[in-house]
Structure 1
């Protein structure tokens, strides 16, 4: 790299060249399950709607491409196609959104087994909030910023993987049906 070339060629999620309003969120959780099992669940992206409350839908286009629709602030939805850029079975999945994304983003999820304790799952997401600085304030006020979402999503992932269900105080459709309502 020459002195005049300042481009960082690292993957977007690890790049130190975060231009504009790009934000970085990283969270970890220790889950008492084997890394391969957690990886397999996550790698089937359609499973993520079970743990991420902002997901409207994820459609697999092929082995490495998927189309995402997510809820945003004020009832808006955002869409993008994501491309898996690195896939190490049982260990890591890295992705980036395409250039037409409503919300430019990239990320990495790591699965690191810890002897006798399960697996440390680390989710790192880089994104550009819609509407720049104003969008950053709006998602923060509405608790939709990726720092908060990642923490909540990993907590739900841990619950589902360790207990088979996600604890909630909301009465879901199945509960209402059992009660005859």
Structure 2
């Protein structure tokens, strides 16, 4: 199991950062390896990703979600095995810290080599930078889901 933890500060209120993160179908705009996400219901999504040229599909379940604080998930079914949590921390009225922790099981030689040289961490860092640029350029979220999913 590989663990990745990355953090970035964004110059938008914590509510704006959190609300944008709940718009899973917008992820392809800032997550490089994500082709599409379909929101199936309040706690289930279907992902299509392309990692190292290999296309994969999997479902994910939101296991915990608290507005302006955290979103946790894990994969269900399929070949891809991962889990994670994104936390949101108010820094000031106009800035927030976003921290991503992902635990995943590399599959195949390419992913195992990639995890050994830190490719996953670099990808998450780049995706967070893309998220920062996306949300700061917009200044407002594209939507919001303020529901609470207890652990």
What is the TM-score when the length of structure 2 is the normalising length? 0.84
What displacement does 1:116 show? 5.7
What displacement does 1:78 show? 1.2
Q: Give distance in 2, aligned partners of 1:58 and 1:115.
A: 31
Q: Give the root-mean-square deviation of aligned CA atoms.
A: 2.0
Matched, 1:151 2:125: yes
Structure with bigger RCO (C-alpha 8 Å, 6+ apart): 2
What displacement does 1:123 show? 0.7
Question: Contact (CA 8 Å) 1:125, 1:146: kept in 2 or not?
Answer: no
Question: Contact (CA 8 Å) 2:82, 2:104: kept in 1 or not?
Answer: yes
What displacement does 1:138 show? 4.3
What displacement does 1:59 show? 0.7
* Aligned pairs, number: 139
Matched, 1:137 2:113: yes
Question: Contact (CA 8 Å) 1:30, 1:120: kept in 2 or not?
Answer: yes
Q: String of CA shifts for 1:55-78, please: whole Å, max 9, x gaps.
A: 1110111010000110011x2111
Structure 1 residue runs of 4+, over 3 Å off?
138-141
Question: Contact (CA 8 Å) 2:13, 2:94: kept in 1 or not?
Answer: no
Q: Give distance in 1, aligned partners of 2:116 and 2:69.
A: 31
> Quick one: which of 82, 85, 88 aligns to 1:108?
85
Runs of at least 5 residues in structure 1 that lack an aligned partner in the other structure: 1-21, 166-181
What displacement does 1:84 show? 0.2
What is the TM-score when the length of structure 1 is the normalising length? 0.71
Aligned residue number for residue 87 of structure 1: 65
Question: Contact (CA 8 Å) 2:13, 2:93: kept in 1 or not?
Answer: no
Question: Contact (CA 8 Å) 1:51, 1:156: kept in 2 or not?
Answer: yes
Matched, 1:62 2:38: no
